[in-house]
Each structure stands twice: as structure tokens, then as C-alpha cells.
Structure 1
Amino acid sequence: MKIFNALRISLFAIVASVSLLSVAHAENALKMELTANKVVKNAEGKVSYLPVSTAPTGTVVQYKATYTNTVNQDINDLAVTLPIPTNMAFNGEVTPASAQASIDGKNYADIPLMRKVDGKMVKVPYSEYRTLRWNIRLLPAKKSAAVSLNTIVE
């Protein structure tokens, strides 16, 4: 499984999906860095992250996007979106927990997503999630904010 190609495709989609909700900011005000790391737990349960470019089915991979405000002015109301690559399944782990999810890339709601089945509200399986979105209310001048989600290689 090639993580690098999925990461490169996702990177394009992520850059295209960042939106500054407040106007009057320079085009180059925001820099984004995306990493993909294999999530490894040792016998004591301690988690470590190792760079990954390929991984077998079942491997947990964390996508982490760090957004840096490069100007001397705060950025308000920043919405950032991370797509889940088609060869990956979201596993429910996200940071910060304030993320919203979508199964169609258009309609977002708090996690867990719910839907009505046979008259009852049930949770939408994480495997159906396609994108996650975070609203960063304030990104101070020259500061960074990071968001991440964990996926499983299918």
C-alpha cells in the first residue's frame, strides 16, 4: 500500500479546502505542513509515531496538518478540512476532539455522525466518513495550530 501517493493526493485536496472566513488577509498568510506517521504502541501502551511511505493492510496511520500563521496579524475563523484517502478508513481518533465529520464532503456534523435506520437513530460507521473539518477561531500572528486524524490502511 503506497501511503505517499495517497498523501500527495490528499495534500492537494487539503490545500484546496482551507478557507479563511475573515477577509483582508494576504494570500500567503497561512502555511500548511502535512505528515503521515505510522502509529506504534509498545507493550506498556506508550504511543510513538514513525514516518511512513508504505504500509500493509491494518496499519494505523496518523495524518497531521500543522497550520502556521506567517504574518504579523491574527487570523480569525479559520476552517480547515482533511480528506480521508479512499484506501484508508477513519478509526475515530482525532485531535482536537472538536472536529466535525462528513460522509459527502459537503454536510458536516459533530462526531459521532448519526442517521435514522428503521425509525431509530444509529451511529454512522467510521469507515463511511470521508472528510473531517475543524474551526480554528483564532490563530495568533506567527503561531501554529495542528489537527490530526488516525486512519487504518484497507
Structure 2
Amino acid sequence: MGFFSFLGRVLFASIFILSAWQMFNEFGKDGGPAAKEWAPKLGLVKEFIEGNIGKNNLYFDVKPLARTFVATSVFLKGFGGLLFVLGSSFGAFLLIFYLILTTPILYDFYNYDIGEPKFSVLLYEFLQCVAFLGALLFFQGMKNSILRKQQKKKAPKPKAA
């Protein structure tokens, strides 16, 4: 059972690790293609925030923020994936944090009408990330329940002669 658990973690984490490796190799000075994909999405977030708190209350430039987002994503996916392979709850936490942070921004299917072709693609990717999040939460729950069961077991008392 231990080998299959490890193999499952390797296969699951390979999605994140290989993605982080590709983003790292393409990073460059401008953040690479991932930063170009993030910039318009973060622009929408900026407009949403400005609409709620006012235009001049918060200022940030989208392009450097997109590069920072890509660098943070590379770290969270790469380091979190490696720790997850080793069975670490902290690695799972990093991947959960990454998914919660990026999924609603990157896969914004809610900004499109149902009939548009992009809606279906973004909804599919969003639901896939939600499934990954569910698997990571399941891992965390199983890890915690196993630790609780081990703590409840008491050492046998020696019998008096």
C-alpha cells in the first residue's frame, strides 16, 4: 500500500512540478508567456478592486505584478509538489494555497456568456482545478485522521506478577 500511495503522489504532483518547470524555463525578463496571460486577468481584478474602493485609493502596475505572480506560482507549484511527493502536509498546503489563489482569477468563465466557446474551455479548466483542490483536501483529511488514530492507541500496560 505504501508504494501505491507514493506512486499516486508522484503522478499527482507531476502535474504541478512539470508546469512549474516549464514556467521557470520560459520566465525570461518579461515573465514569459505566463505573465502575458496573467496581465489581462490581473487587469480585470484591478478594475474590480478600483470599482469597489475607488480609483485613487490603491495603485499597482499590472505587468510587474504579473511577473511576481508567475514567480510565486513557480515556487508554490514546484516546492509544494516536491514536498507533496514526500508526503508532507505542508506541500499539500502550498498546492492548496496556489489553487485557491489562482483558479478564480485564471479561469474566469463567469466573465463569458454560456454560448461562447471560451466559456466551456474555462469552465472545464476551473472544474479540473476544483477537483485537484478536492484531492488535496482529501489528502489532508486522511493524513490528519491517520495521525489521530495513531495518537489514540495506548501502549499496553505490563501485567503484574
Larger RCO, structure (CA 8 Å, separation 6 or more): 1
**How high is the TM-score relative to the length of structure 2?**
0.27
Query: Going by fraction, where is helix more abundant, 1 or 2?
Result: 2
**How high is the TM-score relative to the length of structure 1?**
0.28
Query: Going by fraction, where is strand more abundant, 1 or 2?
Result: 1
